[in-house]
Amino acid sequence: MAQIKKKKVSPRQKMINLMYVVLMAMLALNVSSDVLKGFTIVSDGIELATQNAIQTNEGIYKNFEEQMKANPTKVKQWYDKAQYVRQISDSLYNLAEELKVAIVKKSDGKNGDVHNIRNQEDLEAASSVMLAPNRGRGRDLYDAINNYRDRITKMVTDKGQRRIIESNLNTEVPQKGKIEGKNWQEYMFESMPTSAAVTLLTKLQNDVRHAEGEVLHGLVSNIDVKDIRVNEVNAYVVPNAQTIVQGGRFSAQIFMAAVDTTNRPTIYVGGREIKGSNGLYETICNTTGDFTLTGWIETLNGSGEKVRRDFQQKYTVIPPSATVSADIMNVLYAGYDNPMSVSVPGIPSNRLQVSMTGGSFTQKGDGKYIARPTNVGGEAVVTVAAQTEGRVQEMGKFTFRVRKLPDPTAYIPIGTDHLLGGKISKQNLMAMTNLGAAIDDGLLNIPFSVKGFEMVFYDNMGNAVPEISQNSEFTLRQKNMIRQLNRGKRFYITHVRAVGPDGIERTLNSAMEVIVN
């Protein structure tokens, strides 16, 4: 009868490991609460994979039970080892689940739900549960992982799989953490958002079930596969992902458990036989929505009888998505270098192609760009495309209004201060050399060049006496007029002409009142 092949790392498991690396990279950034919601989606995906692993492992345990009843002499030593694996795996898995619940309740209250976290961005809950003096559970988890890793890896015969399990359950503090003087639990959970902490613990649970499955498959290979698998032949579908971007490729491994390598099963999808020997099925996804892959697998059992198992796998196709945001506000200013941020989830910035109508769009760093539109009053359309699966796919178009830069505010520079009028000492007034202008409203900080201005004085009869400068500097006559003013007298700076980075000259409507102090 056929023998069970050594279990390899599935495409789903590889995907989970990759998602974990991406999440850790995201965590190193100052992410917004909207991005933190993504942890819930990823955690749900990992939990789904974990449940699939649990079902597979439970199937093996069930077969051990049946074989133990049928032939205890032959099976007992492997059965006992399997029960030992279940005991230590459940212990660490349940500890992780207990900590997830504790962190969420600390964050959301006694009615907190691990599957519906309200305060995802809470930075205190994980630290409190895991690192609180005398009662923090971080050390308990650290010791439990080390103890489990040491015991489970001794039961793995394949060196490659042993290295994978040791890497997944590694508790060594990275060099950055060592430099900061942190232990493992501090490095992992200090100031960790609630959603991220739950995701890390969910990832640990998945690693435990993966390690448990590796050992169980090794134990199964030591007894007759026919005895274990003859009543548990099932069809499985392992997709590369259950959410596909429109135009992307859906891939799935379709296989039957315990299949004989000399007797490959026949696979049917939608009533048509899938050609090929490796069970790979692919289709281009051009329509968005929810879909179900259905079909069946046929093979022959040891008696030559045909065995059929049906399968189905749900997946979702979503439209392409990209994020383009102006770093200042949701408008662009003509003739000005507007900083922009561009990103597409799951695609590195070096694989993005970004362009803009009505101006230039230049990359200045990882995900950072400069937009310089030209036409005031129109619209600038930013188009984002990405290189995926050997082709360029448009991920979205984003429209921004184009406006003229707002008028600046005139000021008198005294040292590092920008005086906007009011009472100014005569000493400072005599020390001033030029008039400045700039936009400095907390969002924009843009200097302008002053091309001329007018100062208006009043004589003893109340008559206005204007003095004009044809550039930014105070004229000698203007300075002399100021020198003659007594304390409490005032003058006005008006008709300031200034040019900004957009090259547009404008005359400011407001007047600056200056009182000699």
Quickly list DSSP for 316-337.
EEE----EEEESS-SEEETTS-
Torsion of CA 118, 120, 123, 128, to 10 degrees: 60
CB 421 within 8 A of CB 490: no
The class (CATH top level) of 233-319 is mainly beta
Token pair of 415 as six digits = 């040292």
Q: How does DSSP classify residue 31?
A: -
Token pair of 436 as six digits = 């400045």
Residue spans of the chain under pLDDT 50: 1-6, 28-30, 225-231
Residues 6+ apart with CB under 8 A from 154: none
- Predicted local distance difference test score (pLDDT) of residue 23: 58
Domains 324-403 and 409-516 alike in fold = yes
In angstroms, rounded to a whole number, what is the distance separating the alpha carbons of residues 220 and 63? 9
In angstroms, rounded to a whole number, what is the distance separating the alpha carbons of residues 453 and 227? 98
CA distances from 345 to 278, 320, 321, 352, 479 (A): 30, 10, 8, 11, 60
Q: How does DSSP classify residue 355?
A: E
Residues 6+ apart with CB under 8 A from 285: 244, 245, 246, 247, 248, 249, 250, 291, 317
Q: How do residues 500-516 score in pLDDT, each as one tens digit?
A: 988 889 999 889 999 99
Q: How do residues 248-296 score in pLDDT, each as one tens digit?
A: 676 777 766 655 555 678 888 888 888 865 677 888 877 777 788 888 9
Alpha helices (H) along 192-341: 194-220, 225-229
Nearest alpha carbon to residue 239 among 309, 312, 296, 308: 312
Extents of the domains making up the chain: 1-232, 233-319, 324-403, 409-516
In angstroms, rounded to a whole number, what is the distance separating the alpha carbons of residues 280 and 276? 8
Single-letter residue type at 253:
Q
Length of the chain: 517
Q: Supply angle C-alpha 98, 103, 108, rounded to 5.
A: 125
The class (CATH top level) of 409-516 is mainly beta
Alpha helices (H) along 109-137: 125-131
CB 89 within 8 A of CB 169: no
Q: Are strands 490-499 and 512-516 parallel, antiparallel or unpaired?
A: antiparallel
- Rounded to a whole number, what is the distance in angstroms from the first to the last CA of the chain? 104
**Sign of the CA dihedral running 295, 301, 306, 307:** negative
Query: CATH for 324-403, among 2.60.40.10, 2.130.10.10, 1.10.1740.10, 3.40.50.2000?
Result: 2.60.40.10
In angstroms, rounded to a whole number, what is the distance separating the alpha carbons of residues 334 and 376? 6
In angstroms, rounded to a whole number, what is the distance separating the alpha carbons of residues 465 and 472? 19
Q: What is the layout of strands, in order, in the sheet containing 368-373?
A: 323-326, 338-343, 368-373, 359-365
- Predicted local distance difference test score (pLDDT) of residue 240: 59
Token pair of 305 as six digits = 């009888």
